[in-house]
Amino acid sequence: MVLILFRSLIFRNRCLNLLQQNGLATTTKLTQKIGFIGDGSMAKAICRGINRKGLIDYSQVYVSSPYIKNLDSWKDLGANVSTDNSLVVKESDVVFLAVKPHVFCDAVKQIEKGANMKYTKNKLFISILAGVTTTNVEKALQNFEGARVIRVMPNTPMLIGQGCSVFCPGSKATEADLKLVNTFLEATGMCQQLPEHMIDAVMAVSASGPAFVYIFIEALSDGGVRMGLHREMATRFAAQTVMGAAKMVLENNKHMGTLKDEVCSAGGTTIAGVHAMEKGRVR
Annotated binding site for NADP(+): 37-42, 65, 98-101
- φ, ψ at 66 (rounded to 5°): -70, -15
State the Cα–Cα distance between residues 79 and 63, nearest whole angstrom: 7
Angle between helices 175-186 and 41-52 (to 10 degrees): 90
Whole-angstrom distance, CA of residue 176 vs CA of residue 251: 31
- In the chain the first and final C-alpha atoms are separated, in Å, by 22
Cβ-proximal residues to 192 (8 Å cutoff; 6+ apart), any chain:
5, 6, 9, 165, 166, 167
Query: Going by DSSP bridges, is the β-strand pair 148-153/163-169 parallel, antiparallel, or unpaired?
Result: antiparallel
Binding residues for NADPH: 85
C-alpha to C-alpha distance for 111 and 142, rounded to whole angstroms: 13
The CA–CA distances, whole Å, from 164 to 10, 44, 75, 153, 185 equal 11, 16, 28, 9, 9
CA 96 to chain centre: 13
Binding-site annotation, residues: 37-42, 65, 85, 98-101
- The SS3 call for residue 61 is strand
